[in-house]
Structure 1
Amino acid sequence: MTILLGSIADDYTGASDLANTLTKNGLRTVQTVGIPDPSLALPDVDAVVVSLKIRSVAAANAVAAATQAERWLRERGAAHVLYKICSTFDSTDAGNIGPVTEALSAAAGGGLVLVTPAFPETGRTVYFGHLFVNGEPLNESPLKDHPLNPMHDANLVRVMTRQSRGAVGLIDLPAIAAGPDTVRARLEALQVTGVKTAIADAVFERDLETLGEIALETPVSTGASGLGLGLARALVRSGRVSSGGTTTADAIRPVGGPAVVVAGSCSKATLRQLDVAERSMPVLRLDPERLLAGPDEIAAAISWAGDRIAAGPVVIAASASPETVLQLQSQYGREASGHAIETATSIIAAELVARGVRRLVVAGGETSGAAVDRLAIPAFLIGPEIAPGVPVLRTVGNAQGDMLLALKSGNFGGEDFFTAALAMMR
């Protein structure tokens, strides 16, 4: 298998988001969970998204995992590798966007790396280096209260500088609006001054198309799914994308069996989605403090769901308000409380799959990663889009047999997301 575009995603829901975008824009795409085992037979595709869990780990560990994935992708023909990050630039002053970007650039021989988290379709825009979320500066948006990576600075040049060794520059909107030649000239000028990474503005899809064309001329780029859109369209325009092979219809063939929603995200969007879901299906709201105290809450949740899944879909939620999350973090520590809840929800998901669940919706990036890891799913085919950034996923090489999943970043989807997802997953 020779692939046209490789990507390394820093979490699983972000990987699904990117794979969905690439598929919608003309690339046959598969998402792997980690670096695939050599025995795994992957379908004939144009793009492979290697999903890792490196967003919130130590920077050295993130770099090691990403560079290993980069080697795997290059060995299979990828001339360009996109490091897929969150569209809200989730990170800290220690990383991991800066360290991984610089490591991937070094592995590819150096050169300036284009960086943009912009994705206007989902309300993420960058203007003169500042990131806006649905029109609000990043530091004034709900992301300021993110339980793992609270974002308090909308100026991405500053944010990237604090976590990078090399200098960081800016390609502003007027330069991008002037077209590819102007952007190329700006990149060359920045490189002469020693800049290693450049934050790029993007407010409209046409900006992403310009950036995708330019990025494709380099070995590495860093961005959200919006940059993936630009890269995919540039590849299609180049005539290098062949027709045939797998389609989204292949991924959505019915699997039957019970359906469960497991939610761990504490975002406002997910909390609202849970309220709406409660109107049409049973919802069990777990007590996060009891989850941290021991296994009884897990066992009770499994028993509760086991008694109901034959009758229809159910929802199990460990989601909590920002105030409750802060209280738990102050009592148990940020990492310990987050890990305990991720572990609990993944155990619940795995046990219910063992009891016959074949359709699974998971809300929350860390929650999704923990569930997929515990289920040991090696890869996914990308199906049709449920909501912007969230496709239906069909398992590839899964020991439990064919399953349909949806892995949702906490902030994604409309208020009826859970019912809409289950309606598409038969």
Structure 2
Amino acid sequence: MSKIVIIADDLTGANANGSLLAAKGFSAVTCLDMSKWTKEDFNNYDAVCVNTDSRLVPVEQAVKRVSEGLKFLLTCDNPAVVSKRIDSTMRGNVGSEIEEALKVMDESGRYEEPSVAVVVPAFPSSRRVAVGGYLIVNGIPLEKSPIAKDPIRPITTSRYVAIIAEQTDLLIGYISLDTIAQGPAMVTEEIERQRREGVRIVACDAVLDEEITVIAQAVKSVSYPVLAVDPGPFTAAMADARVPVRARHELEDNALVIVGSTTDLIRRQMDELRLARKCAIVKVDGRLLVNLYKRDDTIREAVQKVVAEAGKAEVYGVCTVEQPDDVHSIEDMARENGISLKEASERINKGLSLIAELLLKEKSLRLGGIYSSGGEVTMSVTRQLEASGFSVRDEVLPLAVYGRLIGGKYPNMPMVTKGGFVGDSESIVHCVNYLFAKISTQTRPLEGETK
């Protein structure tokens, strides 16, 4: 029985939702042709998404497609989550499609109370945040962003409530970050108050994934039907809250980051990564890895610090630079230890690769892929994992590639590597996002099984 049903206005959005749900352990599928599906087909998946391809069509046609698609999805027995996927920049027939979806839910005969649409337009990991009723894209108000100049559907305001209101006469409410910061109970109370006043669409601010989770928890057990309206994260949070995952396998959907470069560029790239993703990345002083008397304790302490954060992040690992003062000369390290530059570099890389192997062994971290920065670091890590080769699959950025380890202790492990001096301040973010797209559905086998 399908537990999560989604109407999306384009194929990319449909698949993006599926990816987010798969990352939480749900089996997800995008339906491209409803005529070829039967009710029994729903039983094979936890989540089914129908693509209406309605973003750029006239409103009358969009409404008709949403109506047909949602009626088809509601033949599923008692879906726990009903979602209307919208574009992360509010393009398309957003208000009209929300109104039609609410109408279909109300007329379906399966609900005793009128449905309420809860709109959460934020997508924090894609740098879309909603604050003060405004949608901010990559740090720029929506109407000032390049997306607003779309020749087919230009956007003239950053106020997401106003964008919805242009296309529907339904009463729209709003919940600010101040209310959300007070927790799920307060959000539930505020939605109830607005419902009593006739509000059918409740729009919510969110800047962080944690705030999206608060909203999902607020409507987890309400008596009235909820239509989740968002670009993906809120629907995934709703599914997580309402549908317990009883997966046979444990997901390995987190990333390991090993960064050995000590340049100011790398420091800025790591700062951007911490803003974009939930990170538990520990700084390791390269000077301590060069010193053989201190190396073992340094490695052990770094691993312990990372493991202590298990369950609190999605990106785990180590780096050798956090602040400008952390940029040390390898020549000084070599001279202080009476060794060559080559040996000093090898000791740092060996220490980082040992940390990588120890972290990969920690099941609590659920590591399903590796990002490494710097050719020497990458070579040391692959050797430590006893890989016989690296199967190159794709270019992520110039001088940054994605591939899989061949053989060794972690065969077929996804890996993205980038040169230490490559890219701009957001290059590591792009690489890690790409890696997540590749590892989101990986699972760890049960004892006695092979992967």
Partner of 1:193: 197
Is residue 2:66 matched to residue 1:66?
A: yes
The alignment partner of 2:186 has SS state of helix
Q: How does 1:325-364 map to 2 (within 5 A)?
A: none
Partner of 1:23: 22
State which of 121, 129, 134 in structure 2 corresponds to 1:125: 129
Partner of 1:104: 101
Cα displacement string for residues 291-335 of structure 1 (whole angstroms, at most 9, x for unaligned residues) = xxxxxxxxxxxxxxxxxxxxxxxxxxxxxxxxxxxxxxxxxxxxx
**C-alpha separation in 2, matches of 1:247 and 1:41:** 25
Are the equivalent residues in 1 in contact too, given 2:80–2:239 (CA < 8 A)?
Answer: no
Q: Which amino acid aligns with 1:174?
A: D
Cα displacement string for residues 230-282 of structure 1 (whole angstroms, at most 9, x for unaligned residues) = 1132135xx3x332499999xxxxxxxxxxxxxxxxxxxxxxxxxxxxxxxxx
Are the equivalent residues in 2 in contact too, given 1:99–1:164 (CA < 8 A)?
Answer: yes
Partner of 1:81: 82
Are the equivalent residues in 1 in contact too, given 2:180–2:214 (CA < 8 A)?
Answer: yes
Cα displacement string for residues 66-87 of structure 1 (whole angstroms, at most 9, x for unaligned residues) = 1211122211122431000111
In the alignment, structure 2 segments of 5+ residues that lack a partner are 107-113, 254-394, 397-427, 440-451
* TM-score, normalised by the number of residues in structure 2: 0.51
**C-alpha separation in 2, matches of 1:228 and 1:26:** 14
Task: Give the direction of change, closer, same or farther, for the CA distance of 1:422–1:173 in structure 2 (3 Å limit).
Answer: closer
Is residue 2:210 matched to residue 1:206?
A: yes
Quote the offset at 1:122 in angstroms.
0.5
**C-alpha separation in 1, matches of 2:82 and 2:34:** 14
**C-alpha separation in 2, matches of 1:64 and 1:10:** 12
Q: Which amino acid aligns with 2:88?
A: S
Are the equivalent residues in 2 in contact too, given 1:112–1:187 (CA < 8 A)?
Answer: no
**C-alpha separation in 2, matches of 1:164 and 1:119:** 23
Q: Which amino acid aligns with 1:233?
A: D
State which of 229, 233, 239 in structure 2 corresponds to 1:232: 239
**C-alpha separation in 2, matches of 1:46 and 1:148:** 35
Single out whichever of 81-90 and 208-217 deviates more from structure 2. Answer: 208-217
The alignment partner of 1:75 has SS state of coil
**C-alpha separation in 1, matches of 2:249 and 2:438:** 26
Partner of 1:154: 158
Q: Which amino acid aligns with 1:229?
A: A
Single out whichever of 154-163 and 4-13 deviates more from structure 2. Answer: 154-163
Are the equivalent residues in 1 in contact too, given 2:119–2:228 (CA < 8 A)?
Answer: yes
**C-alpha separation in 2, matches of 1:182 and 1:206:** 15
Q: Which amino acid aligns with 2:239?
A: A
Choose between structure 1 and 2 for higher RCO, CA contacts under 8 A separated by at least 6 residues.
Answer: 1
Are the equivalent residues in 2 in contact too, given 1:209–1:229 (CA < 8 A)?
Answer: no
**C-alpha separation in 2, matches of 1:196 and 1:42:** 29
* TM-score, normalised by the number of residues in structure 1: 0.54
Cα displacement string for residues 93-113 of structure 1 (whole angstroms, at most 9, x for unaligned residues) = xxx111111111122223321
Are the equivalent residues in 2 in contact too, given 1:128–1:173 (CA < 8 A)?
Answer: yes
Quote the offset at 1:193 in angstroms.
2.0
State which of 158, 183, 186 in structure 2 corresponds to 1:182: 186
Partner of 1:90: 91
**C-alpha separation in 2, matches of 1:42 and 1:220:** 19
The alignment partner of 1:157 has SS state of helix
**C-alpha separation in 2, matches of 1:80 and 1:415:** 31
**C-alpha separation in 2, matches of 1:29 and 1:248:** 17
**C-alpha separation in 1, matches of 2:226 and 2:438:** 40
**C-alpha separation in 1, matches of 2:438 and 2:184:** 42
Identity of aligned residues (%): 25
Q: Which amino acid aligns with 1:99?
A: S
**C-alpha separation in 2, matches of 1:196 and 1:45:** 30
Quote the offset at 1:214 in angstroms.
3.5
The alignment partner of 1:150 has SS state of coil
Task: Give the direction of change, closer, same or farther, for the CA distance of 1:31–1:67 in structure 2 (3 Å limit).
Answer: same
Partner of 1:33: 32
Q: How does 1:49-60 map to 2 (within 5 A)?
A: 49-60=49-60
The alignment partner of 2:179 has SS state of helix
The alignment partner of 2:44 has SS state of coil
Are the equivalent residues in 2 in contact too, given 1:9–1:83 (CA < 8 A)?
Answer: yes
**C-alpha separation in 1, matches of 2:239 and 2:13:** 16
Partner of 2:8: 9
Are the equivalent residues in 2 in contact too, given 1:171–1:198 (CA < 8 A)?
Answer: yes
**C-alpha separation in 1, matches of 2:252 and 2:98:** 31
Quote the offset at 1:147 in angstroms.
3.0
Task: Give the direction of change, closer, same or farther, for the CA distance of 1:420–1:185 in structure 2 (3 Å limit).
Answer: closer
**C-alpha separation in 1, matches of 2:73 and 2:128:** 28
Q: Which amino acid aligns with 1:55?
A: R
The alignment partner of 1:70 has SS state of helix
Q: How does 1:239-318 map to 2 (within 5 A)?
A: 239=244, 241-244=245-248
The alignment partner of 1:118 has SS state of coil
In the alignment, structure 1 segments of 5+ residues that lack a partner are 250-385, 388-412
The alignment partner of 1:114 has SS state of strand
Cα displacement string for residues 321-364 of structure 1 (whole angstroms, at most 9, x for unaligned residues) = xxxxxxxxxxxxxxxxxxxxxxxxxxxxxxxxxxxxxxxxxxxx
Is residue 2:47 matched to residue 1:47?
A: yes
Quote the offset at 1:187 in angstroms.
0.9
The alignment partner of 1:203 has SS state of coil
Q: Which amino acid aligns with 2:228?
A: S
The alignment partner of 1:76 has SS state of coil
Quote the offset at 1:41 in angstroms.
5.4
Are the equivalent residues in 1 in contact too, given 2:177–2:205 (CA < 8 A)?
Answer: yes
Task: Give the direction of change, closer, same or farther, for the CA distance of 1:197–1:43 in structure 2 (3 Å limit).
Answer: closer
Q: Which amino acid aligns with 1:105?
A: L
Q: Which amino acid aligns with 1:182?
A: M
Quote the offset at 1:38 in angstroms.
3.0
Superposed CA RMSD in Å reads 3.4
Partner of 1:274: none
Quote the offset at 1:35 in angstroms.
2.1
Quote the offset at 1:229 in angstroms.
2.5
Task: Give the direction of change, closer, same or farther, for the CA distance of 1:133–1:82 in structure 2 (3 Å limit).
Answer: same
Single out whichever of 227-236 and 203-212 deviates more from structure 2. Answer: 227-236
